[in-house]
Amino acid sequence: MENHSGVLSKISGLFSRRGYNIHSLTVGITEDPTISRMTIVISGDEQMLEQISKQLNKLIDVIKIIELDPLKSVCRELALIRVSMNQNNQPIITETVNIFRGKIVDLDTKSAIIEITGDEEKVSSFIDLMKPHGIKEIVRTGLTALER
């Protein structure tokens, strides 16, 4: 899509007006600063997906629509999770972070902020393992993807 103000609003409004729920949405500038890439995750039948594609193609700011096949794409999500941490649970949290190839990006006497990247299932699994330790905050980017 073209990279200028109001485009995101037009696209998300199209979904809203038709009552379609967006599961996740990520937007960022590409290698060309005049173009942004938007990754939208939705669920629906083939007819709904086709209708959405046709409607999006009508928008002047939309340059190209690509429906990504999950088996032929690389998909990732980033999450930052603030977890209660103390001397008792620090070793298990640190070990779990290492197993999931995450990073502790901030640490204080009562908590740690952990960065985890992966597919949606990996991020959710990590969050489930952190729940017993006391999750204070979570922020997730939503899925972003590129075709192989």
Q: Which of 8-12, 102-106, 138-142 has the lowest mean pLDDT?
A: 8-12
The separation between the first and the last C-alpha atoms of the chain, rounded to the nearest angstrom, is: 20
Residue 121 predicted with pLDDT over 90: yes
pLDDT above 70 coverage of the chain, percent: 100
Q: Residue 77, Cα to own-chain centre: how many angstroms?
A: 4
The two domains 7-67 and 73-147 share their CATH topology (first three levels equal) = yes
Residue boundaries of the structural domains of the chain:
7-67, 73-147
Per-residue pLDDT, 111:
96
Amino acid 6: pLDDT: 86
Neighbours of 148 (CB within 10 A): 8
So what's the pLDDT on residue 118? 95
Q: Which residue has the tokens 């997730």?
A: 140
Which DSSP symbol is given to 2? Answer: B
Band of pLDDT at residue 95, cut at 50, 70 and 90? very high
- pLDDT tops 90 at residue 79: yes
Q: Which CATH superfamily is domain 73-147 in?
A: ACT-like. Chain A, domain 2 (3.30.70.1150)
- What pLDDT, on a 0 to 100 scale, did the predictor assign at position 50? 86
Token pair belonging to 70:
């999950």
Enumerate residues 6+ apart whose C-beta is below 8 A from 99: none
What confidence score (pLDDT) does residue 4 get?
Answer: 86
CATH code, residues 7-67 = 3.30.70.260
For residues 59 and 62, what is the distance between their CA atoms, to the nearest angstrom? 6
The predicted model scores a pTM of 0.80
Cβ neighbours, 10 Å, residue 52: 19
106 strand-pairing partners: 113
DSSP annotation of 133: G
Q: Residue 123 CB: number of other CB atoms within 10 A?
A: 23
| pLDDT band, very low/low/confident/very high, at 45 (cuts 50, 70, 90) | confident
